[in-house]
Chain A
Amino acid sequence: MSAAEEVVAEGHEAVEAVPKRAMTLGTGTSVVVLLLLLAVPLFAKNFIIFQLTQLLYLGLAVLALNILTGGSGQFSLGQSAFYAIGAYVTAVLMEQFNVNYALCLPIAGVVCFGAGFLFGQPALRLSGVYLALATFALATAMPQLLKLNFLEHWTGGVQGLVVTKPDAPFGLPMSQDMWLYYFTLVVTLAIYLFSVNLLRSRSGRAFMAIRDNEIAASAMGVNVALYKTLAFGVSAGITGVAGGLSAIAVQFVAPDSFTITLAIQLFLGMVVGGVGWLPGSIVGAAFIIFVPNLAEGISKGLSGAVFGVLLFLVIYLVPHGARQVAIIGQQLAGKLRKN
C-alpha cells in the first residue's frame, strides 16, 4: 500500500477516559454496602447464600477485566482461560496434593499472573480487534487443552474433578455455605482494596496514561510494554483467584464450564457495571447471574430473545452502565443537600 493511502486516525479511543477518582465509591456508601454484605446471609437460606457467593467471585472476575479494559485500555475475550487455569490449579492442588484451600488461592493467583504476563508479551503487538481475536483464540483453545490426554492423570479429562467443600474452622457454628460466603467476602474485599489502591498508585496512573494515549504516555517516560503486560498479569491473577473460589463453591471443575460463553458473560458484566468503575463489577455480576434466570422465568422458549431485549433496554437507558446511575444518584443527593 502506498503512503498516500495511509489513514490517519485522530483521538479515536476505544475506551473512554475515566478519571481515577470516579473509579470508586465514597466512604459512606462503602460502609453501607459492606454492612449489607455482612448481614444479608444471616437471614437467608443456603441456596441464596450460594448465589451471593457466586455474585462475589464473578464480581471479582469482572473487576479483573475492568482493571485491564477500564484501567489500561486493553480488550480481552480470553478471561475464561485464566479463570479455568485458576479453577484447575485450585482443584488439582486440593484433591491430588491435599493442599489447604486457603493456600491454593494465592498459588492459583500467582500461576495465573505468570500466564497472563507471558500472554501479554505477544499481545503487545496487537490492539483493538486484533487483540480481541488473539484473546478469543486463547479462550477457545483452553477447554480443548484441558481435555488433552497427558494431563488427564491430574485433570480428570472430560469428566473433570470433584472438589470437597471445606467445613467452617475452629468449630464455628456455621453451615459450609455460610462459611464459604464469608471466606469469599474477605478475599473479595482484600482484592477490591488492592485494586483501588493499585489504580491510585504510580502503576495505576501509568495504566490510565496508556489507555488515554499510548504515544503521549511513552513520551512522558511510561514503559508502555512493561505496564501493558503488567496489566494483563494482574488481571489474569485476579481472574485466577476468582476461578479458584468458583471451583471451591461449585465443588466441581470440568473443561466445558470454561468456554467462550463465560468470557462473553464477563464482558457483558463489565459493560453493564460501567467500564472503568470498579464497584460496578458487582452490579455487572448480578446482571449476568440473575437476568438469564429472569428471562427464563418470563418465557422458556424465547429466553435468549428476552435476555437480548433486556440487555438492549439496559444499554439504551444507561449506555455507561451502573456508573451512570451512580453519577445521577450523586447529583440528586447533592441537590437535596443544598435545599
Chain B
Amino acid sequence: MELFTNQILAGIATGAIYACMALAVVMIYQAIDHLNFAQGEMAMFSTFISWQLMQWGVPYWGAFVITLVFSFVGGIAIERILFKPLAKAPVLTNVAGFIALFAIINSSAGLIWDFTIKQYPTPFGSAPFLGSQLISTHQAGMIGVTVLLLIGLYFFFQYTRIGLAMRAAASLPESARLVGINTSWMIALGWGMAAAIGSIAGMLIAPVVFLEPNMMGGVLIYGFAAAVLGGLSSPFGAVVGGFLVGIFENLAGTYIPGVGNELKLPIALALIISVLVVKPAGLFGRHIVKRV
C-alpha cells in the first residue's frame, strides 16, 4: 500500500509537468482550433532565452519576466508573419506548417546553444517537500504555479471583456465579427498567450529534464495526451488530465511486469485511448453537435 501511495505521489509530481504543457496546448486549441506541433519547441526556445539572460547576470525573476514578454510578443509575431497568410489554406497544410516551424526552431536552437545538456536553476530549491522523498520543493512549487495559472486563466476567460471576446471568436467567428470583435487579432492574442504559458512550462520543466534542444519532445506528447484526455476545450480538464497521465504512467511502470521505460508511453497512450473510446470528447470536454 505504501508503494502504491508513493507511486501516486510521484505520478502527481511528474503530472505537474504535463499539466503545465497541457494548459498551453488547450490555450492554442481554443484560439485556432487545432493542435500546434511546434508548441514544445517554442517553449524550449523561450527557456533558452531565459537561460542566456541568466548567463549574462540577470537575476532569476528578472529573466522570468523578460522571457514571458519575449514569448508573448514572439508568439504574436509567429502568427502574424507565418500563419496569417495560411488562414485560408486547408487545415492539413497548416499542420505541415507547424512541422516546418518545429524543424526551424529546433535546428536554430541547436546551432545557437548546441546540443549539450545544461543545468537550469530552480527558484524553489530542491530539498524534499514536507519530508517526502518523492516530491521535492521544486515539484511542489510547480504544482502551485500550475494551479495559480489555471485560476488566473479561469478569471481571464470568465470575467474580462477580452477573455469573453476570445471565447466568442473561437466558438462562432462569424457572429463574433458581427458584434465588432476583431477575430483575426484574437487568434494572434491566443498564440501570444499560448507561447507565454508554454515558456512558463518550459522554465519549470527545465530543472527536471535539463535544458537541451530536444527536451520538449517527450513532454509535448504527454501534454497533448493530457489535454486530449481532459477534453481540449477545458483548461481545468487539461490540468486534471496532466495529473492523471502522470499517475497512469507511473503505475503502469510499477505494476505491469516487463514494462520498462520505453513501453511506458505506449501504455499510457493506450489507456487514454480506451478512455476516449468511452468518452469521445474527453473527460471534461464539450460535446460538439454536428449540423448537416
Flag if B92 contacts A304 (CB, 8 Å).
no
**Binary contact readout B226-256 vs A (1 if CB under 8 angstroms, 0 otherwise):** 0010001100000000000000000000000
User: Chain A contacts of B58 at CB under 8 A?
Assistant: none
Flag if A129 contacts B290 (CB, 8 Å).
no
Within 8 Å of chain A (Cβ to Cβ): is B57?
Answer: no
**Binary contact readout A242-273 vs B (1 if CB under 8 angstroms, 0 otherwise):** 00000000000000000000001001101110
User: Chain A contacts of B96 at CB under 8 A?
Assistant: 267-268, 271-272, 311, 315
Flag if A144 contacts B276 (CB, 8 Å).
no
Partner of A6, one of B224, B273, B289, B292: B289
Return B135 CB to nearest CB of chain A, in Å.
28
Within 8 Å of chain A (Cβ to Cβ): is B177?
Answer: no
Flag if B90 contacts A319 (CB, 8 Å).
yes
Residue on A nearest B88 in the bound complex, by CB = A319
Within 8 Å of chain A (Cβ to Cβ): is B103?
Answer: yes
A264 to B217, CA, bound (A): 14
Flag if A136 contacts B286 (CB, 8 Å).
no
**Binary contact readout B88-121 vs A (1 if CB under 8 angstroms, 0 otherwise):** 1111110111011111101110110000000000
Q: A267-B92, A271-B95, A311-B99 are known contacts; what are 10 more A-B pairs with Cβ within 8 Å?
A: A9-B288, A14-B92, A126-B273, A133-B272, A133-B276, A264-B99, A306-B107, A311-B97, A311-B100, A319-B90
Residue on B nearest A315 in the bound complex, by CB = B93
Partner of A308, one of B102, B221, B263, B290: B102
User: In chain B, residues 248-277, which have Cβ atoms closer than 8 Å to a Cβ of chain A?
Assistant: 262-263, 265-266, 269-270, 272-273, 276-277
A304 to B109, CA, bound (A): 11
Within 8 Å of chain A (Cβ to Cβ): is B182?
Answer: no
Partner of B106, one of A8, A15, A122, A304: A304
Within 8 Å of chain A (Cβ to Cβ): is B171?
Answer: yes
Within 8 Å of chain B (Cβ to Cβ): is A16?
Answer: yes
Flag if A134 contacts B276 (CB, 8 Å).
yes
User: Chain A contacts of B289 at CB under 8 A?
Assistant: 6-9
Return B259 CB to nearest CB of chain A, in Å.
10
Within 8 Å of chain B (Cβ to Cβ): is A213?
Answer: yes
Return A259 CB to nearest CB of chain B, in Å.
11
User: In chain B, residues 132-175, which have Cβ atoms closer than 8 Å to a Cβ of chain A?
Assistant: 171
A279 to B66, CA, bound (A): 50
Mostly, the B contact residues are: helix
Flag if B86 contacts A1 (CB, 8 Å).
no
A215 to B292, CA, bound (A): 7
**Binary contact readout A1-37 vs B (1 if CB under 8 angstroms, 0 otherwise):** 1000111111100111000000000000000000000
A residues with a Cβ closer than 8 A to B are 1, 5-11, 14-16, 69, 75, 122, 125-126, 129-130, 132-134, 136-137, 140-141, 144-145, 147, 213-216, 219, 264, 267-268, 270-272, 275, 301-309, 311-312, 315-316, 319-321
User: Chain B contacts of A7 at CB under 8 A?
Assistant: 171, 233, 286, 288-289
> Which of B86, B107, B286 counts the most A-chain CB atoms under 10 A from its CB?
B107
Flag if A275 contacts B269 (CB, 8 Å).
no
User: Chain A contacts of B125 at CB under 8 A?
Assistant: none
Flag if B90 contacts A275 (CB, 8 Å).
yes
Flag if A311 contacts B103 (CB, 8 Å).
yes
Flag if A14 contacts B91 (CB, 8 Å).
yes
Flag if A1 contacts B103 (CB, 8 Å).
no
Mostly, the A contact residues are: helix
Known contacts being A7-B286, A16-B90, is A141 close to B107, with CB within 8 Å?
no
> Which of B221, B233, B277, B286 counts the most A-chain CB atoms under 10 A from its CB?
B277
Flag if B276 contacts A69 (CB, 8 Å).
no
**A-B residue pairs in contact (CB < 8 Å), sample of 5:** A129-B232, A147-B262, A301-B111, A304-B106, A311-B96
Within 8 Å of chain A (Cβ to Cβ): is B35?
Answer: yes
A241 to B96, CA, bound (A): 26
A6 to B289, CA, bound (A): 7
Return B23 CB to nearest CB of chain A, in Å.
17
A297 to B166, CA, bound (A): 44
User: Chain B contacts of A69 at CB under 8 A?
Assistant: 92
A140 to B171, CA, bound (A): 33
A264 to B104, CA, bound (A): 15
Flag if B228 contacts A129 (CB, 8 Å).
yes
Flag if B262 contacts A144 (CB, 8 Å).
yes
Return A272 CB to nearest CB of chain B, in Å.
7
User: Chain A contacts of B103 at CB under 8 A?
Assistant: 304-305, 307-308, 311
A271 to B34, CA, bound (A): 16
Known contacts being A141-B269, A215-B292, is A130 close to B280, with CB within 8 Å?
yes
Within 8 Å of chain A (Cβ to Cβ): is B65?
Answer: no
A11 to B291, CA, bound (A): 7
Return B206 CB to nearest CB of chain A, in Å.
21
Flag if A305 contacts B108 (CB, 8 Å).
yes
User: Chain A contacts of B127 at CB under 8 A?
Assistant: none
A248 to B224, CA, bound (A): 36
A122 to B284, CA, bound (A): 21
User: Chain A contacts of B232 at CB under 8 A?
Assistant: 129
Flag if B100 contacts A309 (CB, 8 Å).
yes
Partner of A134, one of B34, B273, B288, B291: B273
Return B271 CB to nearest CB of chain A, in Å.
10
Residue on A nearest B277 in the bound complex, by CB = A125
Flag if A302 contacts B273 (CB, 8 Å).
no
Known contacts being A9-B290, A133-B269, A315-B89, is A302 close to B277, with CB within 8 Å?
no
A213 to B82, CA, bound (A): 31
Return A147 CB to nearest CB of chain B, in Å.
8
